[in-house]
Amino acid sequence: MYQKLAFDAWLSCIKEEKEGLLATVLQQGGEAEGRRLFIPKEGQPVGTLGDTGLDLQIKDLANQKLHESNPKSETLTLKRADKEEESVFIDVYIPPLTLMIFGAGHDAIPVAKCGVSLGFKTVVVDQRSFYNSEERFPGTERIVIETTKFSEEVLIDSRTYVIVMNHHLERDQETLKFVLPSKAPYIGVLGPRSRRIRMLEAIEKEGVRFEEEQLERMYSPVGLDIGAVTSEEIAISILAEIIAVKNGHKGGFLQNSARIHQLAKS
């Protein structure tokens, strides 16, 4: 009974694109023995591995893996409370990161294309249905909505990387008022530094002030300095910066580095 509930909770986790971990006790030969424990990142565990020692180890492991950027599924040999060993398969589901682009102009097309090719769940937000179309943005989710209704349909969480590129000053300002207080770890804003300052000053005159922590997540001018000129080059520059932020790197040349693609220090 508990095992079925655990597996059903795991399937719901995947369907709803939420983080979760499923632990399954294995028989000799690697077949599932039946005892399962599901642990979501948010919410209560479901099921049991039939041993308090195993359950506690899995809960500790889930707390670690569900906070990693790229956790791996694996089979572990764990000790029960009575010191007997059990083989347990750990399956981890982390939904794809979201790339959310505010603005459906011509230069947003290569940005969305890069996002899709990199495996991001790519979302384009623009009130103009003619521009924000499947033909222009294949493989993306499109939200056709006015800035005044963002809170009704646009969801931003800690796994959402935002790019603001409406090419419309007032629309960008309204977008910033929505995205800066969110949990987004990255908010890239197209345009020069002077434009960013002008927008923030205009927002402040409306009585809206942002915390320093919120402004630190705002990347403007957006992208890595690679000399990008064309829309396609700028898209690569922006996505490269997002990858660097996601992986905790500064972004720079690997020339003469002793190691390449090393993990960022925690």
Chain segment 237-253, per-residue pLDDT in tens? 999 999 999 988 888 88
- Owning domain of residue 41: 2-93
Tell me the two tokens of residue 220: 């403007």
CATH number of the domain enclosing 152: 3.40.50.720
Instruction: Tell me how far apart the alpha carbons of residues 176 and 180 are, in angstroms, rounded to a whole number.
Output: 6
Mention every residue, 6+ apart, whose C-beta is less than 8 A from residue 82. Answer: 51, 53
Return the axis-axis angle of helices 169-179 and 193-205, rounded to nearest 10°. 70
Residue ending a domain, among 69, 93, 117, is: 93
Please tell me the predicted confidence (pLDDT) of residue 259: 75
Q: 71 in a domain, yes or no?
A: yes
**Domain membership flag for residue 136:** yes
123 is a domain residue: yes
Which SS3 state, helix, strand or coil, does residue 93 take?
Answer: strand
Q: How far apart, in whole angstroms, are the C-alpha atoms of residue 214 and residue 216?
A: 5
If asked whether residues 13 and 45 sit together in one domain, one would say yes
* Domain-located, residue 12: yes
What pTM was computed for the model? Answer: 0.83
- Pair (84, 168) in one structural domain: no
Same domain, 78 and 151: no
- Total of domains in the chain: 2
Label residue 140 exposed, middle or buried (CB < 10 Å: 0-12, 13-18, 19+): buried
- One-letter amino acid at 165 equals M
R_g of the chain, CA atoms, integer Å: 22
Question: By the 8 A CB rule, do 218 and 191 touch?
Answer: no
**Do 116 and 48 have their domain in common?**
no
Residue 254 belongs to a domain: no
Q: Name residue, tokens 């005044």.
A: 148
**In a domain? residue 266:** no
- Regions of the chain where pLDDT drops below 50: 265-266
Tell me: do 228 and 110 sit in the same domain.
Answer: yes
With respect to residue 31, please indicate whether it lies within any of the assigned structural domains: yes
**What pLDDT score does 28 carry?**
74
Strand, helix or coil for residue 47 = strand
What would the pLDDT profile of 101-157 be if each residue is shown by its tens digit?
Answer: 999 999 999 999 999 999 999 999 999 999 999 999 999 999 999 999 999 999 999
Query: Taking the alpha carbons of 225, 248, 217, 66 in that order, is the dihedral positive or negative?
Result: positive
| pLDDT for position 29 | 66
Mark whether 79 and 186 lie in a shared domain.
no
